[in-house]
Amino acid sequence: MRVKAILSFLAISIILLSMLTGSQGCANIMPPTGGPRDSLPPVLLKATPRDSTLRFAGKQITLVFDEYVDLDDYYKNLIISPVPKNMPAVSRKLETISVRLKDELEPNTTYTLDFGRSIKDVNEGNIYKNFTYIFSTGSYFDSLEFKGKVILAETGGVDSTLTVMLHRSGEDTLLRDQKPRYLTRVNPKGEFHFHNLAPGTYYAYALKDESGSYRYFPSSDVLFAFADSAVVVGSATPDLTLYAFVAKKKDKAQDEPVTGGNNRGGATDKRLKFSVNLLGSQQDLLSPFTFTFQNPVRNFDTTKIRVSTDSTYTPLAGSTKWESDSTGRKWSFHPAWKPNTLYHIILEKDFATDTLGYQLLKGDTVSFFSKNTTDYGKLNLQFQNLDLSRHPVLQFVQNNQIVASYPLTTTTFTRELFLPGEYNLRILDDENQNGIWDPGSFFGTRRQPEKVKPLARTINVKPNLDIPIEIDVNAIQEAGTENKPGINRRTGTLRINQ
């Protein structure tokens, strides 16, 4: 019996083993499960030809890693300098990435292949960041460097999707007709750094290039920056700051929501439609009352509008001046608002006619209370190192939008009434003194944009208390943190508790 039991056990074991090995032979290769998650990027085991090869004369580069690798959008990630006329063919198989060069290589030239974020492992997607392969067709490597920063002129912030380009010539036509000589990326802090440059004179530009053409045209509607003068790359090349701008903005005008009165209607409703700018059915004491019409207004008859503050609807004494914006869609008036007062704006049905001939079907009345003075805070800002010769304009920013701006003629800014809230502060150098930021222009005029500096302070305005605040204009926010609150080491967050 003992022998039989042993034989039965062996037979069952053999059957189970054969089933197990058979099923494994048909299964897909799967990564092991359980245990710690792989968080390490691939490791380069071998490069053929080896990295940093001199007298390179081949067409093929092979990179072997310690695990299966994948290529992520290499056409956008891979930067080759000097920039080739034709992008190489890049492929991957298991642990290997192959690069086949298509262009004839220049003699005595140092080439770099910066893979950016394109190489990652298959299983976990861990990225082998900023791997750069270098070779030279000569007997030496070019070793000069050039670095700097790109700042968004309109906000003082940064954009890490920009590319910095170096051209050999400063002619305008080269920007639209030829690729640059060298390329590099901008990091999250707005910084760029060229390595392995040949000595010489270059012309520096920055471009938001989503097409991969690395060309800039007069009609381009993308971020662009240019240096005022040539850059001479040598043993001690000074750092450069470029200011990016969009020369031609897209039309962002959109129809605004329709509110109020009997002017509501469906898509086929042929009645005059407008919205008003009330804050929770209250009028801001610091702002005008504004009608925003769905279509531009052809005729706006102020004699058919009455403004009243009593129950008898008696018009206010004096004239009520209405003004239109350049589009004809916005009409505003800004009286000296009485705090905490009920206002009525009485509209006759034909007070306005838009470009489609639409009017109200009948008269309408917009009623609202003005806010009280106790709803506001007080501002008392003292600026240090403020250069008044640059015609500074103080900008108050919320959610990346300028909500108020004031030209500064002294180093003190005070307001008895200011709308409560948290604000980022910026200083605009308003060169032409028109009160707004102006972009630059490259082709022909080569005019730099006006510059905006984000201040390293976020203020939180609250009602009823007043604390004077000193602000050093030279203490700008670190690039890339312009949307984060400024920190006070003692209190955590700077606040003006009014």
pLDDT per position as a tens digit, 36-58: 667 899 999 999 999 999 999 99
Mean pLDDT, the chain, whole residue set: 86
- 33-37, 91-95, 309-313: lowest mean pLDDT where? 33-37
Predicted confidence band at 362 (pLDDT cuts at 50, 70, 90)? Answer: very high
Residues 447 and 493 in one domain: yes
- Can you give the pLDDT at residue 161? 94
The answer to whether residue 4 is domain-embedded is no
The answer to whether residue 354 is domain-embedded is yes
Q: Is 146 exposed, middle or buried (0-12, 13-18, 19+ CB in 10 A)?
A: buried
Residues 196 and 241 in one domain: yes
Which of 321, 343, 374 lies at the terminal end of a domain, its last residue?
Answer: 374
Which of 316, 341, 374 lies at the terminal end of a domain, its last residue?
Answer: 374
To the nearest 10°, the Cα dihedral for 151, 153, 155, 160? Answer: -30
- Can you give the pLDDT at residue 150? 98
Q: Degrees (nearest 5) of the Cα angle 242, 244, 245?
A: 150
To the nearest 10°, the Cα dihedral for 310, 312, 318, 320? Answer: 80
Q: State mean pLDDT over 32-39.
A: 62
Residues in contact with 129: Cβ distance below 8 Å, sequence separation at least 6, in sequence order: 41, 116, 117
- 131-145, 149-163, 263-277, 327-341: lowest mean pLDDT where? 263-277
Residues 319 and 344 in one domain: yes
Residues 156 and 114 in one domain: no
Residues 412 and 435 in one domain: yes
Q: In what order do the strands lie in the sheet with 401-407?
A: 401-407, 392-398, 421-429, 452-462, 496-497
Residues 325 and 337 in one domain: yes
Query: Which single residue is written with the structure tokens 């969009």?
Result: 246
Q: Is the pLDDT of residue 483 over 70?
A: no
41/466: higher pLDDT: 41
379 in helix, strand or coil? strand
- Can you give the pLDDT at residue 492? 31
The answer to whether residue 164 is domain-embedded is yes
Residues 117 and 154 in one domain: no
Q: State the CATH number of the domain containing residue 236.
A: 2.60.40.1120
Q: State mean pLDDT over 335-357.
A: 95
The answer to whether residue 188 is domain-embedded is yes
Q: State the CATH number of the domain containing residue 382.
A: 2.60.40
- Can you give the pLDDT at residue 268? 61
Q: Is the pLDDT of residue 481 over 90?
A: no
Predicted confidence band at 228 (pLDDT cuts at 50, 70, 90)? Answer: very high
Residues 119 and 205 in one domain: no
The span from the CA of 72 to the CA of 345, in Å, is: 60
Predicted confidence band at 368 (pLDDT cuts at 50, 70, 90)? Answer: very high
Count of domains for the chain: 4
Residues 311 and 217 in one domain: no
- Can you give the pLDDT at residue 258? 38
Predicted confidence band at 319 (pLDDT cuts at 50, 70, 90)? Answer: low
Q: State mean pLDDT over 445-449.
A: 94
- Can you give the pLDDT at residue 115? 95
Q: State mean pLDDT over 258-271.
A: 53
Residue type, 493: T
pLDDT per position as a tens digit, 397-435: 999 999 999 999 999 999 999 999 999 999 999 999 999
Q: Is the pLDDT of residue 12 over 90?
A: no
The answer to whether residue 322 is domain-embedded is yes
Q: Is the pLDDT of residue 329 over 60?
A: yes
pLDDT per position as a tens digit, 232-256: 999 999 999 999 999 875 544 444 4
28 in helix, strand or coil? coil
- 145-154, 158-167, 469-478: lowest mean pLDDT where? 469-478
Q: Is the pLDDT of residue 363 over 80?
A: yes
Cis geometry, peptide bond prior to residue 82 (ω within 30 degrees of 0): yes
List the one residue out of 375, 313, 311, 315 whose CA is nearest residue 339: 375
List the one residue out of 374, 369, 399, 341 whose CA is nearest residue 279: 369
- Can you give the pLDDT at residue 36? 63
Residues 418 and 483 in one domain: yes
**Percent of all residues in the chain with a pLDDT value above 90, rounded to a whole number:** 70
Predicted confidence band at 134 (pLDDT cuts at 50, 70, 90)? Answer: very high
360/483: higher pLDDT: 360
- 52-66, 215-229, 268-282: lowest mean pLDDT where? 268-282
CA atoms within 13 A on the CB side of 366: 22
Give the domain range for residue 287.
Answer: 274-374
- 52-66, 76-90, 142-156, 258-272: lowest mean pLDDT where? 258-272
Q: Is the pLDDT of residue 213 over 50?
A: yes
- Can you give the pLDDT at residue 395? 97
The answer to whether residue 406 is domain-embedded is yes
- Can you give the pLDDT at residue 126? 92
Residues 308 and 383 in one domain: no
Residues 360 and 381 in one domain: no
Q: State mean pLDDT over 429-458.
A: 94
The answer to whether residue 439 is domain-embedded is yes
Q: Cβ of 50: how many Cβ atoms within 10 Å?
A: 9
Instruction: Enter the tokens of residue 79.
Output: 């930067």
The answer to whether residue 453 is domain-embedded is yes
- 23-27, 157-161, 308-312: lowest mean pLDDT where? 23-27
Q: Is the pLDDT of residue 266 over 60?
A: no
Q: State the CATH number of the domain containing residue 325.
A: 2.60.40.3710
Which of 315, 345, 374 lies at the terminal end of a domain, its last residue?
Answer: 374
